[in-house]
Amino acid sequence: MLEIKDLHASINGKEILKGLSLSVKPGEIHAIMGPNGSGKSTLSSVITGNPSFEVTQGSIVFESKDLQKMAPEERANEGIFLSFQYPVEIPGVSMVNFMRTAINEQRKYRNLPPISATDFLRIMREKKALVEMDNKLTNRSVNEGFSGGEKKRNEIFQMAMLEPKLAILDETDSGLDIDALRIVANGVNKLKSPENATIVITHYQRLLEYIIPDYVHVLYDGKIVKSGGKELAMELETRGYDWIKQEVVV
Amino acid sequence: MEKQYIDLYKAHHSLIKQHAASVMNASRDASFALFEKLGFPTTKLENYKYTDLKEVLSPDYGLNFKRLDFPVDPYQAFKCDVPGIHSFLYFVVNDAFYPENNQQNVDLPKEVVICSLKEAAEKYPDLVAKYYGHLSTQKQDGLVAFNGVFAQDGFFMYVPKNVQLDRPVQLVNIMRADVDFMANAHNLIIVEEGAKAQLLVCDHTVDDVRFVSNRVTEVFVAENATYEHYKLENTHIKTTNLSTLLIDQQASSNVLGNVITLHNGLTRNNIEIALNGENCETELCGMVIADKKQQVDNFTAVLHNMPNCHSNELFKYVLDDVSKGAFTGRLYVAKDAQKTRAYQTNRNILLNRTAKIRTKPQLEIYADDVKCSHGATIGQLDEQAMFYMRSRGIPYEEARLLLMFAFTADVIDNIRIPALADRMKMLVEKRLRGELSKCEGCTICQ
Ligand SMILES: Nc1ncnc2c1ncn2[C@@H]1O[C@H](COP(=O)(O)OP(=O)(O)O)[C@@H](O)[C@H]1O
Ligand SMILES: [Mg+2]
Residue type, B193: E
Q: Which domain holds residue B190?
A: 2-432
Q: How would you list the strands of the sheet with B196-205, edge to edge? A: B96-97, B88-93, B169-175, B196-205, B226-234, B254-263, B281-290, B310-319, B341-350, B371-379
Asked if residue A116 has its Cβ within 6 Å of ligand 1, the reply is: no
In a domain, A134, yes or no: no
Whole-structure pTM value: 0.87
Q: Residue A110 falls within a domain, yes or no?
A: no
Whether residue B73 is contained in a domain is answered as yes
Q: Is residue B106 part of a domain?
A: yes
Provide the CATH number for the domain around residue A183: 3.40.50.300
SS3 B130: helix
How many residues appear in chain B? 446
CA dist., res. B31 & res. B16, Å (int): 13
Please check whether residue B193 is in contact with residue B161, taking contact to mean a CB–CB distance below 8 angstroms: yes
**Contact (CB, 8 A) for A74 and A18:** no
Regions of chain B short of the pLDDT cut 70: 76-81, 436-446
**pLDDT at residue B436, as a whole number:** 61
> How many angstroms separate the CA atoms of B199 and B437, rounded?
26
According to the model, what pLDDT value does residue B443 have? 44
Cα separation, B91 vs B69, in Å, equals: 14
Report the C-alpha gap between B305 and B298 in whole angstroms.
22
CA distance B361 to B331: 8
Q: Rounded to whole angstroms, what are the CA distances from A136 to A87, A133, B148, B300? A: 18, 9, 56, 38
Q: Is residue B439 part of a domain?
A: no
Q: End-to-end CA distance of chain B, in Å?
A: 30
In-domain check, residue B442 = no
Per the structure, how many domains does chain B have? Answer: 1
Q: Report pLDDT for B72.
A: 74
Please provide the size of chain A in residues.
250
Residues of A in contact with B395 (CB under 8 A): 71, 73, 105
Please answer whether residues B208 and B445 qualify as being in contact, where contact means their C-beta atoms are separated by less than 8 angstroms: no
Task: Give SS3 for A100.
Answer: helix
pLDDT in tens, B269-315: 999 999 999 999 999 999 999 999 999 999 999 999 999 999 999 99
pLDDT one-digit tens code per residue, B337-373: 999 999 999 999 999 999 999 999 999 999 999 999 9
Residue A117 lies in a domain: no
**Is any atom of ligand 1 closer than 6 Å to the C-beta of A40?**
yes
- Per-residue pLDDT tens, chain A, 250 aa: give them: 999 999 999 999 999 999 999 999 999 999 999 989 999 999 999 999 999 999 999 999 999 999 999 999 999 999 999 999 999 999 999 999 999 999 999 999 999 999 999 999 999 999 999 888 888 888 899 999 999 989 999 999 999 999 999 999 999 988 888 888 888 898 889 888 999 999 999 988 888 889 999 999 999 999 999 999 988 988 888 888 888 878 776 6
* Residue A207 confidence (pLDDT): 87
- How far away, in angstroms, is A195 Cα from ligand 2 center? 27
Sheet holding A65-66, edge to edge: A14-24, A2-11, A53-62, A65-66
- DSSP-assigned beta bridge partners for residue B371: B341
Decide: A12 in ligand 1 pocket, CB within 6 A. yes
Chain A positions in Cβ-Cβ contact with residue B396 (cut-off 8 Å): 71, 73
For residue B132, tell me if it sits in a domain: yes
Residue A85 Cα to ligand 2 midpoint, Å, equals: 6
- Note the pLDDT of residue B231: 95
Q: What is the ipTM of this complex?
A: 0.96
CB under 8 Å to B256, separation ≥6 — which residues?
Answer: B227, B228, B229, B282, B283, B284, B414, B416
- Torsion over CA of B383, B386, B391 and B396, rounded to 10 degrees? -120
Residue A125 lies in a domain: no
Tell if the CB–CB gap between A52 and B398 is shorter than 8 Å: no
How far, in Å, from the CA of A49 to the mean position of ligand 1?
16
Q: Does residue B11 lie in a domain region? A: yes
Share of chain B above pLDDT 70, in %: 96
Q: Is B179 on the interface with A (CB under 8 A)?
A: no
Q: Domain span at residue A186?
A: 2-92+146-249
Whether residues B398 and A105 touch (CB distance < 8 A) is answered with yes
A127 located within any domain: no
**What was the pLDDT predicted at B76?**
67
Q: What is the pLDDT of residue B437?
A: 57
Q: Is the CB of A20 under 6 A from ligand 1?
A: no
In a domain, A98, yes or no: no
Does residue A70 belong to any structural domain of this protein?
Answer: yes
pLDDT score, position A220 = 93
Q: How many domains does chain A have?
A: 1
